[in-house]
Structure 1
Amino acid sequence: MSSILTNTGAMTALQTLKMVNRDLGATQGMISTGKRVATAKDNAAVWAISKAMESDVAGFKRISDSLSLGQATIDVARNGAETVTDLLTQIKGKIVASQEENVDRTKIQADIDALRDQVSAVVNASQFNGQYMLQNTSTDANSGGINVLASIDRASDGSVTSTDIRVAKQDLGTGAQSVSATGGTFTASEATGTLNATQSVNIDLSGVTVEAGKAFALQIFGTDADDSSFTQADYRNSAAAAMTQAEAAGASVVYVARDGETAEDVAGKLAEMYATYVAEQGLDTNDFNVTANGSGLTVTSGVTNATDTIAVTVASVGADANNTIGGRLQALADIDVTTQSGADSALASIDGLIDTAIDSAAAFGSAQMRIETQSDFVTGLTDALKSGIGTLVDADMEETSARLQALQVQQQLAVQAMSIANNAPQSLLSLFR
């Protein structure tokens, strides 16, 4: 049936033309934006995933900046530590030269003083954007290192957390420490042990609280009234069996802990300081010796017996006494080779200082390598995320171009079909002629 009121063919052609024009508009949008999912209405699920991933990419870009800043900071610190190591090696050479009797020790001491001043200059100059990594004398919590933002981690529930690389400061300062003789919390015995016929005892410090500004003193109290096994006076640094705070403050073997250190660090430092003390006093390590064993001290003697004993105690002066933290190279200030005994003492202590500088440089080197590895990983991960986002939302330009040409042909055919459908009622006029 033909009708001049209802043109079904034209309506069908119109719907077809509308669909073709809609698809053509979408295809032209893909070509102009380069994306097949440009807005949420294109594909809500894919769009949401892509936006979450894009936010991660933006975060990882900031992480790359953080890692670059951290890497630069640690690089400066490592170079500073390596330079200090070289300077200490030069000082050792001067100390060795001073062992000869027929040398001008005064001039050698002048050279050592100049090198020591240069060590301080290097430590003070080794900073990046105001961050000093070769100084750590603050009692503030968490001041003993820096956190370098390393990653953001997205959990399965959608929550996001950050991950840091902690880089500890490696103090190479030469400033002197001080311990308050009064005030604060004084503990006469944090840990103790007695050398007797067993001639060996371990002093466990693992349960001792270590905090920045807390001082630890090594008390030695030997008992040999007739000096038959050892000279009693040589192994007493307190007037009575219990050390007083004033005696702890003036002890030759006393160490003020810094932020981030543990019982193992304290034990190592006490043992190192005792080795220097032995050299200075000309004592025999067979009579009495102290070495570190992890988070404790091993104390030995080849001369004690059931009656001639040596009690060893670690006392402490709390951080609330306002002690001053010294530099880890503070023993440099005590080097004096103008006398033979001073030259001997300096030779005993310099290797420990060099080891401290070497350990510091090595620690920075390890941290720098880790940051570089993380930086490479973040760069690769960012590229992978970008590629993944592109796979989700980018348009296939070859396919889109071919589709555009096909839709243009369809549009032309739809327009032609529309024209034919609109002309169909004209044929009815011939019936009325």
Structure 2
Amino acid sequence: MPFNSVNTNVGAMVALQNLNATNTELANTQTRINTGKKVANAKDNGAIWAIAQNQRATSGALNAVKESLSRGQSTVDVAISAGETISDLLLQMKEKALAATDTTLDTNSRTALNDDFVALRDQIGKAIANAEFNGANMLKAGGVQIQSLANANGTSVISVAAQDLSLTNGLGNTGVSTTASISTISLATDMVTAVDLAITKVSSVLSTLGTGSKSLASHLSFISKLQDAIDAGVGNLVDADLAKESAKLQALQTKQQLGVQALNIANQSPQTIMSLFRG
């Protein structure tokens, strides 16, 4: 190997190689600090990047699951609110029906009670018709069954069945229909029984809807935690330790300065050959 040559400066070559390696490592460190990631693209680490991308896809899909669950819960909660209103109206209707069974009532009093009863009955119809969220009504005839997404693959759903409380079907086949009346003692007597059945029916419906809403809320909470865990896992895979990178940056900057000095020294070595030719 020509140690004393003006054509080949081995020392400068080695110094330049080391300096280039330091500059490359320094650039990588600066990129990690700028992006906050140790794996920013497939070139950094193909396997880890692919795993992270798959998990990002799952996390993104869980946003749709959360939206579906929230929408379903809101629809059920609207139905519950309507059901509670119907239950309160039925309590008042029972009071009117029971009062109308009194045989001593005169015609005007019975008519007044019946008018109140009919008004309450019609209010139930309005409550059912307006128990709608995002175009879905669970209480009307042929109501919508809630089927909310339960996983990121769309292969599982959480269902909450529709509950028919429409007056056209006798409020759950209890006898409280669109023509319900207490205009006579006989009708009033029958209606006391029918309203009792309706109150029981509505209470059962509210229990079912309440359980469904709770299931949706519980799963929504789980999905939120699952998404957070996935996002944290992705961060563990690709995020850079900025404290470590900061310390490394300072070390590499110092190493770069020393490399430049070493290259300058190596570049000066051919000049020593001139001393061999001095007399």
Offset, 1:89: 1.1
Matches within 5 A, 1:31-430: 31-103=33-105, 104-137=109-142, 144-152=144-152, 160-176=153-169, 328=172, 331-333=175-177, 335-430=180-275
Deviations 1:197-233 (A, max 9, x none): xxxxxxxxxxxxxxxxxxxxxxxxxxxxxxxxxxxxx
Q: How far apart, in 1, do the equivalents of 2:181 and 2:64 lie?
A: 51
Offset, 1:328: 2.3
- TM-score normalised by L of structure 1: 0.60
Offset, 1:330: 6.9
Deviations 1:345-373 (A, max 9, x none): 22222211111111122211111111111
3-state secondary structure, aligned to 1:102:
coil
Offset, 1:41: 1.2
3-state secondary structure, aligned to 2:235:
helix
Q: CA RMSD in A?
A: 1.6
Indicate the structure with greater helix content.
Answer: 2
Q: How far apart, in 2, do the equivalents of 1:331 and 1:61 lie?
A: 44
Paired position in structure 2 for 1:225: none
Q: How far apart, in 2, do the equivalents of 1:117 and 1:335 lie?
A: 10
Offset, 1:329: 5.4
Deviations 1:307-366 (A, max 9, x none): xxxxxxxxxxxxxxxxxxx75257223543333332222222221111111112221111
- TM-score normalised by L of structure 2: 0.92
3-state secondary structure, aligned to 1:151:
coil
Indicate the structure with greater strand content.
Answer: 1
Q: List alignment gaps of at least 5 residues for structure 2.
A: none
Offset, 1:415: 0.9
Q: How far apart, in 1, do the equivalents of 2:63 and 2:144 lie?
A: 27
The residue type equivalent to 2:36 in the other structure is G
- Judge conservation of contact 1:136–1:169 (CA < 8 Å) in 2: no
Q: How far apart, in 2, do the equivalents of 1:161 and 1:116 lie?
A: 42
Q: Which runs of 4+ in 1 moved over 6 A?
A: none
Aligned-pair identity in percent equals 40
Of residues 356-365 and 28-37 in structure 1, the stretch that sits farther from structure 2 once superposed is: 356-365
Paired position in structure 2 for 1:256: none
3-state secondary structure, aligned to 1:147:
strand
The residue type equivalent to 2:235 in the other structure is G
Q: How far apart, in 2, do the equivalents of 1:101 and 1:341 lie?
A: 10
- Judge conservation of contact 1:24–1:407 (CA < 8 Å) in 2: yes
Q: Which of 1 and 2 has higher RCO (CA within 8 Å, sep 6+)? A: 2
Q: How far apart, in 2, do the equivalents of 1:136 and 1:393 lie?
A: 53
- Judge conservation of contact 1:173–1:330 (CA < 8 Å) in 2: no
Offset, 1:374: 1.1
- Judge conservation of contact 2:140–2:165 (CA < 8 Å) in 1: yes
- Judge conservation of contact 1:174–1:330 (CA < 8 Å) in 2: no
- Judge conservation of contact 1:74–1:367 (CA < 8 Å) in 2: yes
Offset, 1:161: 4.2
Q: List alignment gaps of at least 5 residues for structure 1.
A: 138-142, 153-159, 177-325
3-state secondary structure, aligned to 2:101:
coil
Q: How far apart, in 2, do the equivalents of 1:168 and 1:354 lie?
A: 19
- Judge conservation of contact 1:173–1:329 (CA < 8 Å) in 2: no
Offset, 1:391: 0.8
Q: How far apart, in 1, do the equivalents of 2:256 and 2:182 lie?
A: 99
The residue type equivalent to 1:169 in the other structure is A
